Chains A and B, each alone.
Chain A
Amino acid sequence: MNKTGSGENRNRRTTLLLSGLVVGMFGFGFALVPLYDLFCEVTGTQSLSQRKINPADLQMVKQVESDRLVTVKFDATVNPNLPWDFQATTRSMRVHPGKTYEVNFVARNRSGDAATGQAIPSVAPWQATPYFSKLECFCFNKQTLDGNQQTDMPLRFMVSPDLPADIQSLTLSYSFMRLKASKNKTDLSKLLPQIARQSATENTLPNR
């Protein structure tokens, strides 16, 4: 400013620089989409519920804890993009840690067209996630239902005896999501590797 005559040029230069910064920050907003995943992966600050558990850290199941009972509740939802009915035949059960149980889910295709979906599990409270072990689950694979078909979907599970003592009740929740997109909005393929990773982790939990 103090140099006579150069004011207009200096203003133009500063304005251009700042405009560049604005455009850059707009781009940075979009760059955050992949960066956010990358950051979590590199630093390991991924959310607690997805934290990988080292199976060696968990106590091998030697015996059933017959004097301890834990309530397991089952919740089933379907994403609106999949015209299915989906529910557990049992709302909740009392289980002994270390013992294997089986529970049945029923899925029915309300529409006349075949569709493929995959169930995505989650456990609440999240602290219980690593201690809930699915030995056999329909969520490991994608499921195809023909038009109006109804099918049973069994789940065999066990709660690890290492489950912290303050957790007396936990909820297993499934949401079914459509896999093959019939409309543009519903492509699940991006999610598949993530599901596979999660299932693999769960399979390594003690199952003897």
Chain B
Amino acid sequence: MTTTTLNHDEAHHHDMPTGWRRWLFSTNHKDIGTLYLLFALTMLFLGGASAMLIRLELFQPGIQLLDPDLYNNLVTNHALIMIFGAVMPAAAGLANWMIPMMIGAPDMALPRMNNLSFWILPAAATMLILSFVVPFFPGGGTQINTGWTLYPPLSVQVGMSMDFLIFAIHLLGISSVLASINIIVTLLNMRAPGMTLMTMPMFCWTWLVTAFLLILVVPVLAGGVTMLLFDRHFGTSFFDAAGGGDPVLFQHLFWFFGHPEVYILLLPSIGVLSHVIPAFSRKPLFGYKSMVGAMLTVATIGMVVWAHHQYTIGMSLGAVTYFMIGTILISIPVGLMIFNFIATMWRGAMTFETPMLFAVAIVLMFTFGGLSGVMLAVVPADMQYHDSMFVVAHFHYVLMPGAVFGLFAGVFYWLPKWTGHMYDETLGKIFFWTNVIGFNITFFPQHFLGLAGMPRRIVDYNMMFTEFNVISSIGAIIFGLSHLLLLYIVIKTIRGGKKAESRAWEGAKGLEWELDSPPAFHTWTVAPQIK
């Protein structure tokens, strides 16, 4: 195998290409990983800008800046850009950079497909942004006011911007399916001799499961939005009651994708945590096997509980009971992961560099989000909380710590490896504290707003909700601006800084730390032998 890979490499990279060719035609996993991460960072700021506008509008009751359609268009746009543009590509970027280095492979198994799966993304992002922008032009039709869930019949009636969005989702789906295939093939076939599935690094395991989830659910979403497209233009009636269709069917198709998507966003960050926490606790990960088992359990149960997003559609008692029990069951394996992390930290020689700070914040805050999730999973309670700001608070508490903080932790943890420079630890800590405090000021009050009855996705609100909304908006400004600091730290680290050793962190373990910082353009051209 080693020999084949060498030949293969020689065929494609006689020498390192320069200029724009290096990036556009890249088949190098490190360059493509960088591209993914830069793309995700760009999208983070775009999605963040729409979030800032939303919070600015909600600063006061009444309609100040945005008309209701534009507000809902922004809500839709914020969700789609953050999920498909920022979090998923960032996780894919980490996978591209780290997986071959961690398993001792010279590159991803399918380098040219890797190039394709990244370069579809800018096209998809353009379509996504166009879907937001098109209604502002004459003849552009109505705005996408459906929210990211795109429920018919409203989504059938929206103007042509919905078609842009549908094709954007198709492209994004193709991109992530290609990336997933690539990752699975790499992990199954390219591991260094001696590295078994049960000894490969945890980050690889989380991505193996994530990639399988993506392959199982993204095509179903693609099918669902294709049906939407057909209903809109080709006279079918999949979801149109007037033609014998059923709008609830779309909800089932959407959430069949949408719920596993939550774990797709979460698991790569769990993988990052499984490296960061042992490194800064200077202890091996507690319960490797149980982590793998818990993750497989989460993924399996997570595939069959999607309708807990739809309790209010009038399912039979038996059906809602099943979905409730299934959903609450998931908290057991997730709790196991959390306890494993705590057990890893237990009596460790802990230090609190920025990645570790984010890791500890995740353990605390993700657990908090998980607890409000259990509240929402309970059918009679959910009837009350459904579509309220409580839901918004809940999913931001799981997605920000669960997904985004994990990615931040990973970026700070591996940035010295990628760039060869240590980032500025003081700035990193300032970023962490402004980010975490800003986040909590933004989203914690939204629990109270939701419990008091403030609905989500509405541009205006009752006077009685003013105070908490003001607090939330102020928090959002702190939270939003803190990301400029992230940008500054990343640029500063790329440009220079203290030289990073090959093992940048004292407690860091794994093959990637045996390579130079920054690693050579091609690494592990001779596979390492694992004892």
A interface residues with partner B (beta carbon < 8 Å): 1-8, 10-11, 14-15, 18-19, 21-30, 32-33, 36, 44-49, 51, 79, 81, 126, 177-178, 183-191, 194
Contacts and interface: CB of A to CB of B under 8 A. Distances in A.
Given A22-B177, A22-B219, A48-B314, A187 B256 contact: no
Contacts of B2: 4
Among B222, B238, B243: residue with most chain A CB under 10 A: B243
A45 B219 contact: no
B181 A19 contact: yes
Interface string B209-227: 0000001111111111001
Contacts of A33: 227, 238, 249
Contacts of A185: 235, 237, 240, 242-243
A26 B190 contact: no
A25 B173 CA distance: 13
Among A1, A3, A183, A185: residue with most chain B CB under 10 A: A1
Contacts of A189: 244
Contacts of B243: 185-188, 190-191
Contacts of A187: 237, 243-244
A48 B317 contact: yes
B188 interface: yes
6 contacts: A1-B190, A22-B181, A25-B219, A29-B222, A47-B313, A185-B235
Contacts of A26: 219-220, 222-223
B319 interface: yes
A33 B184 CA distance: 30
Contact of A190 (B181, B221, B237): B237
Given A21-B215, A32-B220, A177-B242, A3 B177 contact: no
Interface stretch (B3-11, B75-83, B419-427, B432-440): B3-11
A51 B319 CA distance: 13
Contact of B184 (A14, A44, A190): A14
A18 B185 contact: yes
A24 B193 CA distance: 33
Contacts of B227: 30, 33
Contacts of B252: 32, 36
A5 B316 contact: no
B191 interface: yes
A75 B318 CA distance: 30
Contacts, number: 137
Contacts of B237: 185, 187, 190
The bracket for how many chain B residues form the interface is 35 or more
Interface of B: 1-5, 8, 109-110, 177, 180-181, 184-185, 188-191, 193, 215-224, 227, 235, 237-238, 240-244, 246, 248-249, 252-253, 256, 313-319
Nearest to A36: B249
Among B177, B191, B313: residue with most chain A CB under 10 A: B177
A46 B219 CA distance: 26
A1 B110 CA distance: 14
Contacts of B4: 4-5, 7-8
Contacts of A178: 242
A18 B215 contact: yes
Among A29, A48, A49, A126: residue with most chain B CB under 10 A: A29
Which 10 residue pairs of A and B lie closest in terms of their CB atoms, listed nearest first? A29-B223, A190-B244, A184-B235, A26-B219, A25-B219, A29-B220, A191-B244, A7-B1, A45-B319, A18-B181
B216 A25 contact: yes
Given A26-B223, A190-B243, 9 more contacts: A4-B3, A8-B8, A11-B185, A21-B216, A29-B253, A32-B256, A47-B248, A47-B315, A185-B243
B261 to A, nearest CB: 14
A134 B6 CA distance: 79
Contacts of B248: 47
Contact of B189 (A7, A32, A186, A190): A7
A187 to B, nearest CB: 6
A5 B5 CA distance: 9
